[in-house]
Amino acid sequence: MKKTILTRFIFAGLLAVLALLAMPAATTAATPAASPAQIGVVVRFGPPEIPVYEQPICPGDGYIWTPGYWAWDADDADYYWVPGTWILAPEVGFLWTPGWWGWGGAGFIWHVGYWGPHVGFYGGINYGFGYFGHGYEGGRWDGGHFFYNTTINHVNITEIHNVYNTRIDIRNESHVSFNGGEGGINARATAEEEAAARDRHIDAVRAQTDHAQAARGERDLRASVNHGKPSIAATSRPGDFRGSGVVRASGGGNYNPPPKGGGNEGRGGNPVHVKDLPPAKSFTPPNTGNAKTDQKYQQQQQKLQAQQDKERQNLQQKQEQEHQQQAKQNADAAKQQQLEQRHQQQTQQLQQKHDQQRQQLEQKQSKGRK
């Protein structure tokens, strides 16, 4: 009986391992897999400005406004707009800290948003509707209920009675959508915001990740199509892009098309991560006129190619693991910048090493033909 149970246990373990091996390797970290915008993504040109739009009406009590943002699609090398929407808070007392783009030294890095008891740093970016750069002025929790500031939020007060009216002096009129770098917002986290980053957090809920994934599939939401002025700027409910609660952008602008070579690179077009490197070029098949020599040279080429492929895979895995560890530790912007700079240096050194090895082998084989 014990032997049978042990056999079943081993068999179940093998199935679990096989299932893990079958899963695609993670390319980024710090956000649920369904979310397209993730930390570890490095884009060498900034997103368009935050578009101007009206807030759709709140669908019901307990919903909290989550502002729209520009996400990055590496497959198309293009930003796309994720419309602002109302989301049910995952816990009583929790508020949303929006994600934000920040310059990391080698490119712009996405910092994911999160739910928590306090609003943390979101780059000093004015997303509007209470998110004016620091903190949140759109409402507050009191006695287990969320109270809406009606000077900021579009709320039907005949249905929702937990409201108040406080006017806010908005000093940040900028629509710039990123922190740091050329033309970016110059803001740093306050002591309170740094403390908020250490609070217990909840990642974006399923409704948010599904909403972002649906936005990725909408062609009109791509920056290259809407030029910073999306036709679906905000929605009353997540993922509802065709209903009566859809709001168009009334303004936008300062869209800069991606530079040649795409955007997922560092300054000067230098790749930041191993996964950003182009595929290695194939060796020219040897043709010395001697079958044995050709076979020998081909084996040398294949051996070097296999060795370099393995080194690429090892470094890529190491870089991805470091991103995952940093995400778990809630690393600040300075540490993230240091990591990206180190990864770019590692990637460039590996590429230079491989180029030199290939040149040396080709020169050696060329001399052997003479």
Residue 38, pLDDT score: 42
Question: 102 or 171: whose pLDDT is higher?
Answer: 102
Residue 260, pLDDT score: 55
Residue 339: what residue type? L
Q: Which of 19-28, 87-96, 260-269, 280-289 has the highest mean pLDDT?
A: 87-96
Render pLDDT for 304-321 as a digit per residue (tens, 0 to 9).
Answer: 999 998 999 999 889 888
Question: 14 or 362: whose pLDDT is higher?
Answer: 362
Render pLDDT for 63-117 as a digit per residue (tens, 0 to 9).
Answer: 999 999 999 988 888 999 999 999 999 999 999 999 999 988 778 889 999 999 9
Of 50, 71, 63, nearest to 215 by C-alpha is: 71
Whether the predicted pLDDT of 262 surpasses 90: no
Residue 246, pLDDT score: 95
Distance from C-alpha of 17 to C-alpha of 189, rounded to nearest angstrom: 42
User: Residue 146 is encoded by which pair of tokens?
Assistant: 């969320």
Report the pLDDT averaged over residues 41-52. 88
Whether the predicted pLDDT of 294 surpasses 60: yes
Distance from C-alpha of 176 to C-alpha of 58, rounded to nearest angstrom: 26
Distance from C-alpha of 93 to C-alpha of 368, rounded to nearest angstrom: 74
E strand residue ranges, the chain: 42-43, 52-53, 63-66, 69-73, 78-82, 84-88, 95-97, 100-103, 108-111, 114-116, 139-142, 145-149, 163-164, 178-179, 234-235, 249-251
Residue 339, pLDDT score: 82
The enclosing H or E element of 324 equals: helix 291-328
Distance from C-alpha of 344 to C-alpha of 338, rounded to nearest angstrom: 10
Residue 193: what residue type? E
Whether the predicted pLDDT of 225 surpasses 50: yes
Q: Tell me the average pLDDT of the chain.
A: 82
Of 37, 50, 51, nearest to 109 by C-alpha is: 37
In the chain, domain spans:
42-251, 271-369
Residue 77, pLDDT score: 85
User: Among the listed ranges 140-149, 172-181, 267-276, which one has the minimum average pLDDT value?
Assistant: 267-276
Residue 203: what residue type? D
pTM of the model: 0.64
Distance from C-alpha of 332 to C-alpha of 179, rounded to nearest angstrom: 14
Encode burial over 345-367: b for 16+ CB neighbours within 10 A, e otherwise: ebbeebbeebeeebeebeeebee
Distance from C-alpha of 149 to C-alpha of 131, rounded to nearest angstrom: 13
Question: 7 or 177: whose pLDDT is higher?
Answer: 177
Looking at the DSSP assignment, which residues form a beta bridge with residue 351?
none
Residue 216, pLDDT score: 94
CA end-to-end span of the chain:
72
Report the pLDDT averaged over residues 170-176. 82
Going by pLDDT thresholds of 50, 70 and 90, the confidence category of residue 273 is confident
Going by pLDDT thresholds of 50, 70 and 90, the confidence category of residue 131 is very high
Report the pLDDT averaged over residues 221-227. 94
Render pLDDT for 24-41 as a digit per residue (tens, 0 to 9).
Answer: 333 333 333 333 344 556
Share of the chain above pLDDT 90, in %: 51
